[in-house]
Amino acid sequence: MVTAKCGIVPPSPPTLCAKVAEPVRIAFVITELEVGGAERCLVNLASGIDRTRFAPTVCSLAPRPAAGKDTLVRQLEDASIPVHFLNLRSSISFLSGMSKLKRLLREHEIDVVQTFLFHANVIGAFAAQAAGVPKIVSGLRVADPARWRMALERFAARRAEYIVCVSHSVAEFVKTKVGAPDSKLRVIPNGIDLSTIPTDNIPNRTELGLPTERRILLAVGRLHRQKGLDWLLALAPELFKRLPEHDLVIVGDGPQRDSLTELSAKLDLQDRVHFIGWRPDVPRLMQAAEVFLLPSRWEGMPNVLIEAMGAGLPVVATSVEGVKEVLGPLAARQALPFGHDTAFIDAVSQFIVDSTLNAELGEENRERIRAEFTLRSMISKYEDLYHL
């Protein structure tokens, strides 16, 4: 050892620090970014992921939503997450979309692609494979029975290392109908941040286009056959006979808007059923309702059900994919098979008439979400998949 004069030992040379690993670059690819359950899940995931370990980018196949419907896009931009729009407007743009996405993935040297929703699953899997992305993770959120969709999902699933399913019911569907092996399947339920659900600023009836004295039953969802709103409207005349003080408020838009409006008029329900269109403040609207209705024909794990339970509402839902998993032991009183007309009407009526039961179920629902479906838990499970 070299000793300096006066017996002082010189300091050791500085130790070289280990090279800090760069964050894993993730591209979250989704069909569109208007407000919906899957879209909100993606945005919450991208915004909440550990930025010291992961560098998120978001890509929408569709154009940017119109002003007023771009809430989720602005949330991403506020979190300094790059957002790209491929501006695809129809299914015939498949090849050009795949080419655009492949180029984007290469330019950003993406390490992991996570896709959400059908079109993104298909285009994203092919583009990621062509771009040489090391890890592809697909996401299936509904058990859609259409055979042509299952066939395309099957091709996409072969290219994915993992397939995230939002419920065990969807995982079983993907295994039996899409043909994916157990080794690829991962179940990650949706999660929400209860602190974001408002407890004040309840909308008044005038704001919703209702007479001030009316009481509210609430349904939220895309106006599509999947959501079973045509069945709900068919039940409405008998339901309203039992509940003369209540109106039904339906939030959402979609391809069945005209036919559902016509059905409402045919049943002479115009004064009792209110289609208020798409709204960015669904959790706030839930504060004005007494019961949440989910009459779906099929689902995956409906995020809106988790939100309604988190808002402290009792629910009457069909026992389709994911619903019983969300409700757990509370399903016995709040879920029933699609098409059971009398049972559905009886359940809604009971929750209105029995205010004590209404309050108890609402509190039990909220506590179940607090215990089992937190946003932090959801994000952690996704993070575990993304290590290279």
The arithmetic mean of pLDDT across residues 212-239, rounded, is: 96
Phi, psi of 252 (to 5 degrees): 135, 175
Mean pLDDT of the chain: 91
CB 272 within 8 A of CB 247: yes
pTM: 0.85
CA distance to 23, 239, 240, per residue, from 269 (Å): 56, 11, 9
Give the bridge partners for 215, in sequence order. Answer: 246
Q: Is the pLDDT of residue 1 over 90?
A: no
CATH of 195-372, one of 3.40.50.2000, 3.30.1740.10, 3.40.50.1100, 3.40.50.12160: 3.40.50.2000
Q: Is the pLDDT of residue 7 over 60?
A: no
The arithmetic mean of pLDDT across residues 253-278, rounded, is: 96
- The residue extents of the domains of the chain are 24-191+375-385, 195-372
**Range scoring the smallest mean pLDDT among 176-185, 198-207, 222-231, 326-335:** 198-207
Does the structural domain 24-191+375-385 have CATH classification 3.30.479.30? no
User: How is residue 263 written in tokens?
Assistant: 């059905």
Give the bridge partners for 68, in sequence order. Answer: none
Q: Is the pLDDT of residue 223 over 70?
A: yes
Tens-digit pLDDT profile for residues 11-36:
455 554 445 579 999 999 999 999 88
**Is there a common fold for 24-191+375-385 and 195-372?**
yes
Euclidean distance between the first and the last CA atom of the chain, given in angstroms as a whole number: 43
The arithmetic mean of pLDDT across residues 287-316, rounded, is: 96
Percentage of residues in the chain having pLDDT higher than 70 = 95
CB 42 within 8 A of CB 166: no
